[in-house]
Structure 1
Amino acid sequence: MVSAGREQDPTIRQGVMPTSAPTSTLPNDATGVFDGSLSEPAVVAAGTGVAAVVSERSPIKDPPNEDAAAVIPLIGGGVALAVADGCGGHAAGEQAAQIAIRTLFECLHQPGEGEARGAVLDAFERANEAITGLGVGAGTTLAVAIVDAGAVRAYHAGDSEILLIGQRGRVKLQTLAHAPVAYGVEAGVIDPRDAMHHEDRSLISNLLGSAEMRIEVGAAVPLAARDTLILASDGVTDNLRTREIADLIRTGPVDAAARRLRDAAHRRMTNPQPGEPGKPDDLTFVLYRPARPR
C-alpha cells in the first residue's frame, strides 16, 4: 500500500508535446503525449472528437510534475486517452509515469496490432515489469480509456479516475479507485461526505511497480454526442467531489470546461473554505468530447 508552466494557444492541434518535456524518454513520434508543465489547456484533435489536456505540478512544490497524460490516435480508428500519476519520490515517480505512457504508446502502435484491448493489457504488464525493474520503489497509477465505435472502455490500476458525464450531469461511468477509503465508501462503511477528509485518503492499494499489480477492465459504455469523458489524477478527485466535477465539465467548449475545472481545483488546493476538501498535489486531466453530428 502506497501513500501516494508554459502556456499554449488553445486552438485545436494534432500531435502536441510541451517543449519542456524530456523527449529523450518518449517516442520520437509520440502524438499527443504530455508531461512537464501545461497550465493552459492543450486542445487536441482526437479521433472523431476533441480532447483538452492540463498537466501541472503542485502549487506548493518545486520538483517536477510526477504526472503524465496522453491522447493517442489508434491505427484502426478511435483514440486512447491516458493519465498516469507517479509516486515513490520525485525523480522516481516522474520516471514511472513516463514509462507507463511511453509503453502504452509503443504497444498501441506495434506493427500489425489490430486489437486495442490486447495492446492496452500488454502495456500495463510491460510497464509494470519495467517500473519494478528500476529497483527504486517507484510506482504509478495508470488510467486508460479507449474510445472507438461510439463506445468507451476503461482500464485502470490505482486511484486515477475515469468518469463519463452526460450533458445534464448524469454520471454514466465512474471507475472505483483502488484505495482503502474508496473501498470503504463502496461497502457502505465510510460516509461519502467523510471520505474527502479521511486520514487514509492518500493511500492506494494497487499500482504499476508492484508484483501484485492488477488491471481492472470495464464494460464498453455507449458514448452519446453530448457526453464528456474525463480521466483525472487525484489532484482533481481529492479536491473536488464527483458532483462538482460533473457540473464544471458537462457544458461549454472543451477548453473552457478544462479551465473551469483547473481553476476550481486550484482554489481548493490553495484556499479551501471550512468543510471543503483541500490537498495540494500535481494536477493532470484529459477531457474528451465526441464530435457532434452536423
Structure 2
Amino acid sequence: MATASPQKIDSHLYLESDMVAPEWLPLTSRIPPIGNLVAFSRRCPGKEEPNDDSAAIFHTADDGIVLAVADGVGGAPLGYKASAIVMQCLSEALAEIETCRELRPAILDGIEKANAEILDMGTGAATTVCVVEIRDRVARGYQVGDSMALIVGQRGLVKWKSTAHSPVGYAIESGMIDEQDAMHHDERHLVSNLVGSRSMHIEIGPAVPLAAKDSIVLASDGLFDNLHLEEVINLSRVGRPLHRMQSLIELADARMNASDSDTKNPGKPDDLAIVMLTP
C-alpha cells in the first residue's frame, strides 16, 4: 500500500527582524480566495540587542494556513533565540504532516518540541507563542503566554479573543478589572505560562467559522500594551491590508515614544511583531 508523503509548505519566517515596512503576501487558494496576509516585526525603538519577537506564516499545499507570533522573554538570556526556536519547530512539524491531515497535532508537536529544546539550552531562556490555524474557513487558536490573537468581524464584533496567560489577563477574563485599568496595572508585565518551562501548558481555543470579511490579528504585547483593545479592533478592520497594518504600527510607535505625562493612554517601548489575515 502506498504511503502519503509529507506535504510542501510555503514558510515565511521573521526572526530577529528589524523591518521598516510591513510585508504583504497576497494569498489565494483554489476555491475560494483566502485573503491577504500582512506581517511586520521590528526592534524596540533605540534598542541595540536583537529583536526578541518572532513571527511566521505557513501555507500548506492543501490550503491550510498557520499564523504565529512569539515574544522571547525580555531580560532573560537569549530571548530572541527562544522565540526563533518555536517558529522553526513549528515549521519542521508542519512540513512533516501528510496532505489532508489535521494541523492541530503538528502545531502541538511543534510547541512541545520547542519547549524541550529551549529547556535543553539550560540558559533560562523562554518565550510566549500564539498560533492560529485556518482551514476550510474555520480558525482555531493556540496560546502559551501573553502574546494574543483576535478574530474580528466586519462591523467590529470580536468573534474570539485569546486569554493572556498572566495575572492581569486572568483578572480581565474573570471580570475583576476592565481593559482600561489593565493597561496601567503594575503587574501587566508578569507572565504565568511560557515555552521553556517544565510547567508549560498549551491552551487550545474553539473552532471559529470565518465569514468572508473577518480579520485575524496576532501580536506580541508590543501592540496590546500600547493600544486599547477597541483601537486594535477598529484599525484592523478598515482599509486595504497594508493600510490596516500601517495604522497599527504608527499608533504603537506614537505611544512608545509618547511622554510620561500622557496618563490617559498606554505607552511602553517594546519589540513589536504583528501578523494579520484580512479580506
Q: Aligned to 1:100, what secondary structure does the other structure show? A: helix
What letter corresponds to residue 34 of structure 1 in structure 2? Y
Task: Name the CA shift for 1:237/1:88 in 2 (closer, same or farther; >3 Å).
Answer: closer
Give the one of 48, 53, 59 matched to 1:73: 59
Aligned position for 1:8: none
Give the one of 247, 260, 276 matched to 1:287: 276
**Partner Cα distance (1:187, 1:150) in 2:** 30
Aligned position for 2:79: 93
Aligned position for 2:23: 42
Task: Within 5 Å, give how 1:11-160 maps onto structure 2.
Answer: 31-35=11-15, 36-46=17-27, 48-87=34-73, 89=75, 92-110=78-96, 112=98, 114-160=101-147
Aligned position for 1:4: none
Do residues 163 (structure 1) and 150 (structure 2) align?
Answer: yes
What letter corresponds to residue 269 of structure 2 in structure 1? P
What letter corresponds to residue 71 of structure 2 in structure 1? D
**Partner Cα distance (2:216, 2:133) in 1:** 11
The Cα shift of 1:107 comes to 0.2
Give the one of 180, 188, 199 matched to 2:175: 188
What letter corresponds to residue 271 of structure 1 in structure 2? A
User: TM-score, normalization: structure 1?
Assistant: 0.85
User: TM-score, normalization: structure 2?
Assistant: 0.90
- Which moved further from structure 2: 266-275 or 65-74? 266-275
The Cα shift of 1:76 comes to 2.6
Q: C-alpha offsets along residues 145-202 of structure 1, whole Å, 9 cap, x if unaligned?
A: 1011011100110000000111111111100000001111222222332110011000
The Cα shift of 1:79 comes to 0.7
Count residues in correspondence: 262
Q: C-alpha offsets along residues 195-228 of structure 1, whole Å, 9 cap, x if unaligned?
A: 1001100000001000000000011101111111
The Cα shift of 1:111 comes to 5.3
Task: Within 5 Å, give how 1:164-179 maps onto structure 2.
Answer: 164-179=151-166
What letter corresponds to residue 177 of structure 1 in structure 2? A
**Any conservation in 1 of the 2:97–2:106 contact (CA below 8 Å)?**
no
**Any conservation in 2 of the 1:89–1:138 contact (CA below 8 Å)?**
no
Aligned position for 1:201: 188
Aligned position for 1:223: 210
Over the aligned positions, Cα root-mean-square deviation in angstroms equals 1.6
**Partner Cα distance (1:118, 1:45) in 2:** 27
The Cα shift of 1:115 comes to 1.9
Give ranges in structure 1 of 5+ residues lacking alignment.
1-28
